[in-house]
Structure 1
């Protein structure tokens, strides 16, 4: 049916937008959903929208905007283009083309592209109860008028057997299930009150996770539990981002004051885990920006730092938190000087600030941070690097420096290898391009033959070191197949030397190569078969 309502050109056009707008790991997960056959009820509406139902942890409803993919929506908690939208795209694409081919293409290095969607937190809080939970069975204990203190007493009661369940079953699943189910308590409350409840439920479960690790795992964070903590923080950020903060501060002052007190108490946690620190910073940054409250907290932190009885660990924790308030007061250099001395802080620690600068249009401030964090950006994991570079390119454009972007990508090596290589090639800076391939020891199999061919036709002598390094690499494999490949490549290189009128240089190279490997009998045989015997 889709084949009659859509065209191959539409599928290809949507695919091009998907490659620009959607992160690679989301495309891969969307392909998995499509392959698992969980996309159904797919249909075209108004000639522009492709709608479907996708079975995830529940059935989610997708509306894919085929004209502007970034306007697509899904009922899942993910606030950007999600795996369910990607799965719906693959359902459409598979009618006209091989979806596996598209997946392979999406996995190739792609230039980072800016979109305002990148600045939106990944998760949004939906003011509805989980369908699988009997809401009435747990909501009777609290009402929308209950205090924060009563909320936390309820959380303690609700999770009294949580650690036992986490020990017996999969810890992350049990904790997340507890968190998601308890949200149904506030499903019928006024939206702003429910948002505050969600913030506290999130903080409580984050603290429970930290306590669990300390009690049962001797502070050893399994990858599964790390991902759970990160997911809770993503949802906390999303709840705060989408919340009506002025309404919360105006109509729920008592609860906000209680939230302030709980946030202050987060300092009592050990600094072995950064997760509570992320939550602490997030709450101050997005919710608790009252100048008087900030000054009171700064005074407490300064006392901790300057107290001669404070341990080294306590002072470091105090400095780490104090630096956050430097940023809030726009004393960025003071904050960065403190944080950069702490080797355990990687790029992810700084991302929430940098995204906030971009949201607020503080483009020069963002650029100042990238200049200060160059080495961390250059060493970052792919997803984080692509996010920062996409925003960086937009910031450079906003301040009138977009022409500098290509050359400045060099400072972000090794993460920027693919983009910097593309820039050098496009600018026909072939010598630098070759030097980059050589320094990164890129094998010929990973180099575009089209690019190599153009350089051969333009400046063939530039390729000599690259080709000869490949010959040496093949010989070093010490097997007959590799020797044959080396000889095949040598024949090609001989032709290029000949065209460059450097036959004498080539003969010296072959003579030296033969002498160097005179004990490799199989290689010497292949040299003779290739008419390279001297």
Structure 2
């Protein structure tokens, strides 16, 4: 069916777009869905729209735009290009090409193409997207939309009284999110803004509970699983605040915001404030509690604690970290970064909400100032965050008319930018710098492409000698005959390079020294003779 309606060229061109705009992990999940056979009712509409139904948590409806992949849609909660879109693509692609080949390409280093969609939180607007079973009737009447924030928190405490023990006995993250999603179902039928604020507090509560669980049960150790749970809660919080509508707030909304401000203000005096809680604190002040009088009051309280001679060094550090947020809100970015960057505990994720906010506002000058200060963190960030930040950075450089500088400036983002920077150096025939980069980062010799070597040899063979000789030494140091044989093959290549350079005497001298250095390695000496390389 698809073979008659579409062409191989369409499939290949769509695949190239897919590689530009979808993350590797999304493609992997999409491939799994495709392999499990959960894509059905696939059909083509209007010649360019590939429609399908995909069985996930429920049946989702996908529309894949074959001309402009970024305009594709899915009815799932994810607001960006999702695994269901990827699964639909693989269903189509498999008719014309082997999808495993494209999946393998997706695992190679790739440059993410900028789109404003990258700045949108990953979950769609509406509390119904955050709870999987919101139609259950057993929760009706547990709370109503007129209840106060204080009543919400008392209800949360009662709701989760057995949750810590369940988290200890079973998988902690699953138990946490089961509680969280069921709790959100209570507010599904509430007015949207009230439901969103309820979800904000449910998120804060579970983040706080997670911190207490770590302290009580895990001896202050954040495992990968629990860190990922905290990151997921923060991602949800960011989305709730992104879609928050501040217009036409009624009296109940204003009262709830005041209670929110008071509750959050108390967080700064908690004995232990995790990076995740600190980020939640910043997200709320940055996006929700922006009233100048409130900001000034909070700033004054923090200043008082900093000035208090009884404040301990640990508390002082915490208050300075929180104060930095209000410096950013006051436009004093460099002062804030000077504080934050003294801490080795703050990852790039801590700064991402600010970077995305600057990009949304198209404040490219400010964004570039931040990326300059965050170069080390960007270069050492995990791949997804690195690709996101550098995609935004490239757009900022483009908007500022500095696009031509991007290649050279990639060096500042090493080691994360290794592949991109290496490609830039090679494309611009900066072969010496390219080879220095490979040697500095100890790229395994077999991973170097033959066509790279050939291009350098044609341009300037002298440059290859340090690389080849370094690999010869490494192979000899392995002290086994297979490695010696590989070393001999490479030595023959070295000999041909010296010959091409008319430096036979230098070759003879090198080989004599190498043979003398390893004269006790009988197997190596035997391979030298077999290769007609012995002195």
Could you say whether these structures have the same fold, taking a TM-score greater than 0.5 normalized by the shorter chain as the test?
Answer: yes
Structure 1 window deviating more from structure 2 (280-289 vs 199-208): it is 199-208
Map 1:428-507 to 2 at 5 A.
428-507=429-508
Alpha-carbon distance change, 466 to 243 in structure 1, aligned in 2, over 3 angstroms? same
1:276, distance to aligned residue in structure 2 (A): 1.1
Structure 1 window deviating more from structure 2 (141-150 vs 360-369): it is 141-150
Map 1:99-114 to 2 at 5 A.
99-114=99-114
Unaligned runs of 5+ in 2: none
CA distance in 1, matches of 2:503, 2:209: 72
Residue in structure 1 matched with residue 15 of structure 2 by the alignment: 15
Instruction: Map Cα deviations across residues 303-328 of structure 1 (whole Å, 9 max, x no partner).
Output: 11111111111111111100000001
Instruction: Map Cα deviations across residues 476-530 of structure 1 (whole Å, 9 max, x no partner).
Output: 2111111111111222222222122111111111111111111111111111111
User: 1:5 and 2:5 equivalent?
Assistant: yes
CA distance in 2, matches of 1:131, 1:381: 29
Unaligned runs of 5+ in 1: none
Residue in structure 2 matched with residue 334 of structure 1 by the alignment: 335
The alignment partner of 2:268 has SS state of helix
1:272, distance to aligned residue in structure 2 (A): 4.7
User: 1:95 and 2:95 equivalent?
Assistant: yes
Map 1:124-523 to 2 at 5 A.
124-128=124-128, 130=131, 132=133, 135-248=136-249, 252-523=253-524
Residue in structure 1 matched with residue 123 of structure 2 by the alignment: 123
Alpha-carbon distance change, 247 to 199 in structure 1, aligned in 2, over 3 angstroms? farther
CA distance in 2, matches of 1:387, 1:445: 30
1:185, distance to aligned residue in structure 2 (A): 1.4
Q: How many residues align?
A: 534
1:54, distance to aligned residue in structure 2 (A): 2.7
The alignment partner of 1:139 has SS state of coil
Note if contact 2:126-2:196 (Cα within 8 Å) is conserved in structure 1. Answer: no
- Alignment RMSD, CA only? 1.8
Structure 1 window deviating more from structure 2 (385-394 vs 327-336): it is 385-394
The alignment partner of 2:143 has SS state of coil
CA distance in 1, matches of 2:86, 2:477: 44
CA distance in 2, matches of 1:471, 1:96: 44
1:131, distance to aligned residue in structure 2 (A): 5.3
Instruction: Map Cα deviations across residues 192-235 of structure 1 (whole Å, 9 max, x no partner).
Output: 22111111111111112112222222222221111111101001
The alignment partner of 1:40 has SS state of strand
Note if contact 1:193-1:248 (Cα within 8 Å) is conserved in structure 2. Answer: no
1:408, distance to aligned residue in structure 2 (A): 1.4
Note if contact 1:249-1:256 (Cα within 8 Å) is conserved in structure 2. Answer: no
Note if contact 1:248-1:256 (Cα within 8 Å) is conserved in structure 2. Answer: no
CA distance in 2, matches of 1:356, 1:249: 27
Instruction: Map Cα deviations across residues 74-110 of structure 1 (whole Å, 9 max, x no partner).
Output: 2222221122221221122111111111111111122
Q: Please report the TM-score for the alignment, with normalisation by the length of structure 1.
A: 0.96
CA distance in 2, matches of 1:272, 1:184: 29
Q: Please report the TM-score for the alignment, with normalisation by the length of structure 2.
A: 0.96
